[in-house]
Structure 1
Amino acid sequence: MGMSHYYKNLREKVGNELILMPSAAGIIRNEKRDILFQNKGNGEKWSLPAGAIEVGEAPAEALCREVWEETGLIVIPKKLLGVFGGEDFRYKYPNGHKVEYNVYVFDCEIKSGKLSRIDSESAELSYFSFEDMPELALPYPNSLFLQNENKDVYFQWNEQWLKNLR
């Protein structure tokens, strides 16, 4: 689908300046438990199927919409695995747009569909084992992808910040 009217209007006002972008991403596994990643084919590194949360949209709804647009799969979010953001999740697109993502990452179950690109945002879709994962555009912790370790929600934060409150 590309950029929504909301983000186009925002970009017309702020140009390439840094904006906060609430987003949702999904960890989607095949029957072999390999993880689905996408490559946009524009020089960016690989990523999870993901995208911006639109005005009026819940994070899980955004996830389902984005996954379908990018992969042709209909998924059901089963569990929130982590919430990420801050400087580590700043990104500069090849066109110069700067964003700082706040990402809700969900563990997903494939309900139906066939792996195929619905829009032009994915040049390549491929499943990878944890051991053979490609280099990712965003610095998700490896533990996020280890299915047996995902018992608690991962909240990204710096414990030093908490110590500074004292």
Structure 2
Amino acid sequence: MKSYLTELRGLIGNRLLLLPSVAAVIHDHAGNLLLQEKASGEGWSLPAGAIEPGETPAEAVIREVMEETGLAVTPAVILGVFGGREFRYTYPNGDQVEYVVTLFGCRVVEDGGAWTDDETRSLRYFARDQMPPLALPYPASVLFSYTKSR
């Protein structure tokens, strides 16, 4: 079955697409932030993804985190909603998106083991002063405002 996004891309090609999405802020016991290294070579990001039709943002963040990290989470708080020109991104294949991201502070309820998708190369927790650049400009003050994730 084709995904909703794949079907849309078939209709509009690489043109700019406004995309409702979610991202997860997850911290370890020391307050370090979990980041995902993309297998595509795009660098580091928060566990994140698009909201599918019929899915709530909370359901989407639970699904995306499980797929990309193997962690079962509970979304505990909305840390913000981000979008606009700063959240435009062009993928290596030329697909253009402008994300409208609901950013959730999440609490880990179970470590389910390995991730199940092919988007993740590795996972690592980073201290605020050691974070690599992210593809989208989330404010560090927001990323480290919620540390009750575990």
Q: Identify the TM-score tier after normalising by the shorter chain.
A: over 0.9
What's the offset of the Cα at 1:116?
A: 2.4
> After the TM superposition, which of the residue ranges 117-126 and 14-23 deviates more from structure 2?
117-126
| Greater relative contact order (CA < 8 Å, ≥ 6 in sequence) | 2
Alpha-carbon distance change, 148 to 44 in structure 1, aligned in 2, over 3 angstroms: closer
Pick aligned residue for 2:105 from 96, 107, 110: 107
Alignment of 1:113-124 (within 5 A): 113-114=111-112, 116-124=114-122
Alignment check: 8 A CA contact 1:27 1:35 kept: yes
Cα deviation per residue 1:43-81 (whole Å; 9 max; x = unaligned)? 212100000000011101100000000000000011000
Alignment of 1:106-145 (within 5 A): 106-114=104-112, 116-145=114-143
Amino acid aligned to 1:116: A
Length-normalised TM-score, structure 1: 0.84
Q: Whole-Å Cα distance in 2 between the matches of residues 121 and 106 of structure 1?
A: 20
What's the offset of the Cα at 1:148?
A: 6.5
* Count of aligned pairs between the two proteins: 146
Alpha-carbon distance change, 29 to 148 in structure 1, aligned in 2, over 3 angstroms: closer
The alignment-based identity, stated in percent, is 51
The DSSP-based 3-state class of the residue aligned with 1:135 is coil
Q: Whole-Å Cα distance in 2 between the matches of residues 139 and 43 of structure 1?
A: 18
Aligned to 1:29: 27
Runs of 5+ unmatched residues, structure 2: none
Cα deviation per residue 1:75-110 (whole Å; 9 max; x = unaligned)? 001100010001110000111110000000010100
What's the offset of the Cα at 1:113?
A: 1.6
Aligned to 2:76: 78
Amino acid aligned to 2:93: N
Length-normalised TM-score, structure 2: 0.92
Q: Whole-Å Cα distance in 1 between the matches of residues 95 and 129 of structure 2?
A: 32
> After the TM superposition, which of the residue ranges 136-145 and 108-117 deviates more from structure 2?
108-117
Amino acid aligned to 1:26: A
Alignment check: 8 A CA contact 1:28 1:108 kept: yes
Q: Whole-Å Cα distance in 1 between the matches of residues 146 and 50 of structure 2?
A: 28
Greater Cα radius of gyration, structure 1 or 2: 1
Aligned to 2:62: 64
Q: Which runs of 4+ in 1 moved over 3 A?
A: none
Structure 1 vs Structure 2 CA RMSD: 1.5
Runs of 5+ unmatched residues, structure 1: 150-166
Alignment check: 8 A CA contact 2:18 2:99 kept: yes
Greater strand fraction, Structure 1 or Structure 2: 2
> After the TM superposition, which of the residue ranges 111-120 and 32-41 deviates more from structure 2?
111-120
What's the offset of the Cα at 1:145?
A: 1.9
